């Protein structure tokens, strides 16, 4: 898809659809002739549409417009909240673009009232224009037929056009990172082994001399004491790998951030086997890792002045004669012993070692992203991630970064009174809580057991994002989320990385 900037009046544009945001007082005379404006208003009236947030309508264009179709985007009352306005723009545009597919529209023209609207427009364009077609000829054909070929974004003048072009370039690059993550998550486990993740990580490292990579295989991970991770990996024939990506800025880094992504390339549950309906989608269990890779693919362009580590302990969780068992006591890098009550609570067992390793890097903050619990999805549904952590300022940074992107995040507590429910009588911690409820929280409390405190009780700022819900869309709850991987988290991490250095 070609995304172009123009500064001619949009009324003069030639396209298959001309798209304009709803205007104040439903007066379109700033954009079109009196007659055309009146016809648009009449069509809107017919549709009982006043430009409210979360809606958009497509009309047959009145005479005098150089396009067969015209669309009005509902964005609500602009003033109240800028982030909400941008998200309205993304969603309303996506509604039109999905409609446009039906009509095999190949060229659109859209009005960006201000340069700050350009990024959300590009985001919506690229999020909707993504297709995962690798394994289906029919899908590939559909994508070829129905994908948008050209979008022209109209801004008000020459100076604005120059700024807008920069915005397009940057946002386009960022969305390429989102697409990488979506591709990795969509890829079935038959095509997405730990080794494939390693190859993807190596490809990224090759793109920049500021990024380096180290990879540990099973033997090497054993020497480095990744005992929890290796216990989970034991049931699978796939060789497990620990991936460690390092980004170093040109100047001496002001701060160091560690990003950990859960990397279970398939989660069968292990000997605590999942029922089929719960196993169907478990290729997505490396989405945290894929999000970290998506972000790393962008670091050469973002060029933040902080050091960033990306850690993915990648393996499959499978049952076999050699698999770890319910009841087993498993060593970890930290020295703490985990009593495994349920082999399906495997993510936290692998993350325990990743968190311990992350702390040896002496970072200023650690953020882990993990498709950790079904309980989080039960609590929040499928568009919000759960956020947990020991640092209010880090949590706030993540929440604000997410808000800018329209990615939903809800902060959960880590109540002291639930801690005892993950304490074990046989080992140190148990991998499922003795309490049957609050599973997303008790999983986070388990992770927190691996965040060490120094003599005066201080710990590294750590945040955990349970992204089990929003990384994969089963239904288009959000207009720019089609079926499959959403790339959730990459755009939030971009903002986090940019803000963290400040
Ligand atoms: N990978 C799953 C969590 C998950 C569920 C991700 C749904 C995406 C969608 C995780 O490893 C898991 O199986 N968690 C268990 C924990 C339980 C055994 C304590 C769960 O949520 O059922
Ligand atoms: Mn599991
Ligand atoms: Zn899992």
In the residue annotation, 348 being an active-site residue is answered as yes
256 C-alpha to center of ligand 3: Å? 28
146-172 residue pLDDT tens: 999 999 999 999 999 999 999 999 999
173-188 residue pLDDT tens: 999 999 999 999 999 9
Residue 129 pLDDT: 96
Which residue CA neighbors atom 14 of ligand 1 most closely? 373
Beta carbons within 8 Å of 27's beta carbon, 6+ residues apart: 37, 41
Mean pLDDT rounded to a whole number for the chain: 97
Residue 395 pLDDT: 98
Residue 79 has pLDDT above 80, yes or no: no
Residue 78 pLDDT: 61
Residue 211 pLDDT: 98
pTM exceeds 0.75, yes or no: yes
For the chain, state the CA radius of gyration: 24
How large is the average pLDDT for residues 325-329?
Answer: 98
Q: What is the CATH number of domain 187-500?
A: 3.40.630.10
What are the start-end ranges of the H helices in 432-489? 439-448
Q: Which atom of ligand 1 is nearest to the CA of 443?
A: 19
Residue 502 pLDDT: 86
Interatomic CA distance for residues 218 and 230, integer angstroms = 7
Answer for the pair 358, 450: CB distance below 8 angstroms, yes or no. no
Percent of the chain with pLDDT over 70: 100
370 C-alpha to center of ligand 3: Å? 8
Structure tokens, 451: 């965040």
Structure tokens, 471: 């990384």
341 C-alpha to center of ligand 2: Å? 12
In the residue annotation, 274 being an active-site residue is answered as yes
Which residue CA neighbors atom 17 of ligand 1 most closely? 345
Q: φ, ψ for residue 457 (rounded to 5)?
A: 80, 15
CATH 3.40.220.10 fits 2-176, yes or no: yes
Interatomic CA distance for residues 379 and 402, integer angstroms = 19
3-class SS of residue 498: helix
Residue 314 has pLDDT above 80, yes or no: yes
Interatomic CA distance for residues 316 and 211, integer angstroms = 26
Residue 77 has pLDDT above 90, yes or no: no
Domain-wise residue ranges, the chain: 2-176, 187-500
342 C-alpha to center of ligand 1: Å? 11
199-212 residue pLDDT tens: 999 999 999 999 99
Residue 76 pLDDT: 84
Q: Is 263 in the pocket of ligand 1 (CB under 6 A)?
A: no
127-151 residue pLDDT tens: 999 999 999 999 999 999 999 999 9
Answer for the pair 186, 142: CB distance below 8 angstroms, yes or no. no
284-309 residue pLDDT tens: 999 999 999 999 999 999 999 999 99
Catalytic residue among 39, 91, 283, 348: 348
3-class SS of residue 122: helix
CA distances from 493 to 131, 242, 292, 299 (A): 23, 21, 8, 11
How large is the average pLDDT for residues 361-384?
Answer: 98
257-271 residue pLDDT tens: 999 999 999 999 999
Ligand index nearest the alpha carbon of residue 467 = 1
Q: Is 466 in the pocket of ligand 1 (CB under 6 A)?
A: no
Interatomic CA distance for residues 16 and 485, integer angstroms = 29
Which residue CA neighbors atom 13 of ligand 1 most closely? 344
């Amino acid at each position: 898809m070609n995304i172009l900037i123009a500064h001619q009046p949009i009324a003069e544009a030639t396209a298959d659809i001309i798209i304009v945001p709803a205007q104040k007082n439903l007066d379109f005379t700033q954009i079109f002739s009196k007659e055309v404006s009146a016809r648009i208003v009449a069509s809107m009236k017919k549709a009982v549409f006043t430009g409210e947030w979360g809606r958009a309508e497509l009309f047959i264009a009145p005479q005098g417009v150089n396009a067969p179709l015209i669309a009005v985007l509902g964005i609500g009352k602009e003033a109240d909240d800028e982030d909400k306005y941008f998200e309205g723009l993304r969603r309303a545009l996506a509604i039109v673009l999905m409609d446009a597919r039906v009509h095999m529209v190949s060229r659109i023209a859209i009005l960006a009232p201000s340069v700050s609207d350009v990024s959300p427009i590009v985001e919506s364009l690229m999020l909707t224009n993504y297709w995962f077609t690798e394994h289906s000829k029919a899908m590939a054909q559909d994508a070829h037929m129905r994908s948008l070929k050209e979008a022209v974004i109209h801004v008000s003048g020459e100076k604005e056009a120059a700024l807008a072009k920069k915005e397009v370039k940057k946002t386009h690059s960022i969305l390429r990172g989102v697409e990488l993550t979506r591709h990795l998550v969509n890829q079935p486990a038959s095509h997405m082994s730990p080794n494939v993740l390693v190859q993807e990580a190596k490809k990224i490292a090759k793109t920049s001399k500021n990024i380096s990579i180290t990879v540990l295989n099973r033997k090497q991970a054993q020497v480095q004491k990744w005992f929890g991770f290796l216990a989970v990996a034991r049931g699978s024939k796939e060789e497990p790998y620990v991936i460690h990506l390092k980004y170093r800025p040109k100047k001496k880094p002001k701060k160091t951030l560690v990003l950990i992504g859960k990397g279970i390339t398939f989660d069968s549950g292990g000997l605590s086997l999942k029922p089929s309906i719960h196993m169907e989608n478990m290729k997505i269990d490396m989405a945290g890792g894929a999000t970290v890779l998506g972000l790393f693919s962008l670091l050469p362009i973002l060029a933040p002045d902080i050091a960033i580590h990306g850690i993915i302990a990648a393996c499959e969780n499978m049952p076999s004669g050699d698999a770890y068992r319910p009841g087993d006591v498993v060593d970890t890098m930290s020295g703490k012993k985990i009593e495994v009550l349920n082999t399906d609570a495997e993510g936290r067992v692998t993350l325990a070692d990743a968190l311990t390793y992350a702390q040896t890097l002496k970072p200023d903050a650690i953020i882990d992203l993990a498709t950790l619990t079904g309980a989080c999805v039960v609590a929040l549904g499928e568009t919000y991630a759960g956020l947990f952590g020991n640092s209010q300022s880090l949590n706030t940074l993540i929440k604000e970064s997410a808000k800018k992107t329209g990615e939903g995040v809800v902060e959960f507590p880590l109540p002291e009174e639930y801690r005892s429910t993950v304490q074990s009588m046989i080992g140190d911690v148990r991998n499922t809580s003795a309490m049957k409820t609050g599973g997303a929280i008790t999983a986070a409390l388990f992770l927190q057991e691996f965040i060490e405190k120094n003599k005066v009780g201080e710990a590294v700022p750590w945040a955990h994002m349970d992204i089990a819900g929003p990384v994969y869309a089963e239904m288009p709850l959000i207009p720019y989320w089609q079926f499959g991987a959403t790339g959730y988290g990459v755009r939030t991490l971009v903002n986090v990385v940019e803000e963290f250095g400040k």
